[in-house]
Structure 1
Amino acid sequence: MKSKEKISGHCRQLRLGAIGSQVESIADNASAEGISYLEFAEKLLDIEIQHRNLKDMERKTKEARLPITHNLQEYDCSLVEGMPASRLEQLKELTWLDQKFNLIVLGPNGIGKSFLSAGLCHHALKNGYRAYFRAMDEIMTMLRTRDISKPAMADYKRLQKAHLVVIDDIMMIDIARNEANAFFHFINMLHEKTSFIITTNKSPKEWAETIGDEVITTAILDRILYRCEILKLNGESFRLKNRKTIFSSID
């Protein structure tokens, strides 16, 4: 008992939480299996590394701010025109991310643009990339408040180091000229260093109507479209197709 308490104390001091909580059961299993001291040490370290990797992934997922629906295994390509399974598999290889390519996911509301982009963001996270998911209004709020808000500045610095930034529902909100200028500088800062996935129901030609400044719009598009694939999706709205009701059906 004293040995267990001493080992637990050492683990707390060394911040080996997984080993400290499981060392007794691991030792019992090792004794039953008759493994060597080196194999026992390897098991201990494997458990600690797995625990830390899990915690690290949980932290990264929280910082990414992924929506609830982000598991690509649940994405049904048969329900969407423009995203065959072969193309999705190619996107999952992430060569476009290594090449600093951008993706624009274009299509009507409700067909899974956010689902697809969040899924690719999560897939990138699992493969060791720094990836973040932000709605357009979150990006603009961050840019407006970064000089007066520590959380906004922290997020700004976090996105500066990203391999991938998803901007969801771009051009869904009207942007004032000064805000459009700030958004341009944000895109320009990350240009050729970070890949973007942008979801939108408006074609790039329509973006000027939201921004209200053709020069700034052209400058933004020049950077986004320089190395970019436009994925045009179509189909029936998932939300309307699977609409819920609080009422029971009445004959």
Structure 2
Amino acid sequence: MSRLEQTVGRYRNLRCTAIADELPQLLAHAEANAASYLDFAEQLAEREQQVREHKRLDGNRRRARLPAGKRLEAFDYRHQTTITKRQVNALLDFGFIDNRQNLVFIGPPGVGKTHLAVGIADKALDAGYKVLFRNALELVEELEIAEMKGELKKKIAQLTRFDLLLIDELGYLPMSRQARYNLFQLVHAFYEYRSLILTTNKDFTDWGEFFHNDNVAVPIIDRVIHHSSIYMLGGESYRLKEKTAG
């Protein structure tokens, strides 16, 4: 075994896989540029750090499970005039995540709520935050299964590991009393600890009806709207417009 192979093996044992994979090229580049020992050491550390950061961001993106095709750059502000590009761009410093605040997009189906929410979450991933997307129905089912197994607290603890949880289409379907209680436990766990983005077709004045006037409706609303930015979206449905245009 050559000395180079031995050195590569040592880096691999130290789990410096980027250096191990690229050491011959890094050595050649350093020799060609007459790099000092300190410059070469810095290049090794920088390359390892770059690759690790790329892998971390790539892993975060896979775990986020964002719907495809909803990049913020593709959002049509000419059609959705109830929110401006300036308002959305102001959110992209992600102070709302750092300050444990929520975003709520309210409006009828098809007006771009999910597109905006996913687009913002996508930019948060680029900025290094851990994000998770869940359709409200899927989330409710996951919480119910965990509750039946006696693992609700464990499930909620797993969800709070993410900096941002996007709950899409809350309010489209009724929930059982137990499901409403589970949702309250989740919202309570996130309150002033992690951030939520919610999309819903129901104004908060209608949430009592959605929750069947259950006592849990008020505390859920209270924890959602406190420290929240709320956006009311209107206009004609994108999907309806495309269908009628065809």
TM-score range, shorter chain: 0.7 to 0.9
Shift in Å at residue 49 of structure 1? 0.7
Which residue type is aligned with residue 216 of structure 2? I
Q: Assess, with a 3 A threshold, how the Cα gap between structure 1 residues 241 and 18 changes in structure 2: closer, same or farther.
A: farther
2:43 aligned with 1:62, yes or no? no
3-state DSSP of counterpart to 1:66: coil
User: 1: distance between equivalents of 2:62 and 2:234?
Assistant: 30
User: 2: distance between equivalents of 1:218 and 1:187?
Assistant: 12
Measured against aligned partners, the alpha-carbon deviations of 1:131-190 in whole angstroms (never above 9, x if no partner) come to 322111122122112256699876532222333221110012210112111211221222
Which residue type is aligned with residue 225 of structure 1? I
**Structure 2 counterpart of 1:76:** 76
**Structure 1 counterpart of 2:203:** 203
Shift in Å at residue 239 of structure 1? 3.4
2:106 aligned with 1:106, yes or no? yes
User: 1: distance between equivalents of 2:213 and 2:240?
Assistant: 35
Single out whichever of 53-62 and 98-107 deviates more from structure 2: 98-107
**Structure 1 counterpart of 2:183:** 183
Q: Assess, with a 3 A threshold, how the Cα gap between structure 1 residues 153 and 19 changes in structure 2: closer, same or farther.
A: farther
Percent pairwise identity: 30
**Structure 2 counterpart of 1:17:** 17
Q: Assess, with a 3 A threshold, how the Cα gap between structure 1 residues 150 and 185 changes in structure 2: closer, same or farther.
A: closer
Which residue type is aligned with residue 125 of structure 2? L
Tell me if the contact between 2:156 and 2:189 (Cα under 8 Å) persists in the aligned partners: no
Single out whichever of 85-94 and 126-135 deviates more from structure 2: 126-135
Measured against aligned partners, the alpha-carbon deviations of 1:59-82 in whole angstroms (never above 9, x if no partner) come to 112222211134323333333122
Q: Give me the CA root mean square deviation.
A: 2.5
Q: Structure 1: where are the runs of 5+ without partners?
A: 244-248
Q: What does 1:218-233 align with in structure 2 at a 5 Å threshold?
A: 218-233=218-233
Q: What does 1:107-126 align with in structure 2 at a 5 Å threshold?
A: 107-126=107-126
Single out whichever of 65-74 and 54-63 deviates more from structure 2: 65-74
User: 1: distance between equivalents of 2:179 and 2:148?
Assistant: 16
Count residues with an aligned counterpart. 244
Q: Assess, with a 3 A threshold, how the Cα gap between structure 1 residues 176 and 163 changes in structure 2: closer, same or farther.
A: same
**Structure 2 counterpart of 1:51:** 51
Q: Assess, with a 3 A threshold, how the Cα gap between structure 1 residues 126 and 149 changes in structure 2: closer, same or farther.
A: farther
**Structure 1 counterpart of 2:94:** 94
3-state DSSP of counterpart to 2:234: coil
User: 2: distance between equivalents of 1:24 and 1:68?
Assistant: 38
Measured against aligned partners, the alpha-carbon deviations of 1:56-103 in whole angstroms (never above 9, x if no partner) come to 111112222211134323333333122211111111122223333221
User: 2: distance between equivalents of 1:60 and 1:150?
Assistant: 28
Tell me if the contact between 1:105 and 1:231 (Cα under 8 Å) persists in the aligned partners: yes
Tell me if the contact between 2:143 and 2:155 (Cα under 8 Å) persists in the aligned partners: no
Tell me if the contact between 1:108 and 1:234 (Cα under 8 Å) persists in the aligned partners: yes
Shift in Å at residue 34 of structure 1? 1.5
Q: Structure 2: where are the runs of 5+ without partners?
A: none
**Structure 1 counterpart of 2:4:** 4
Shift in Å at residue 221 of structure 1? 0.8
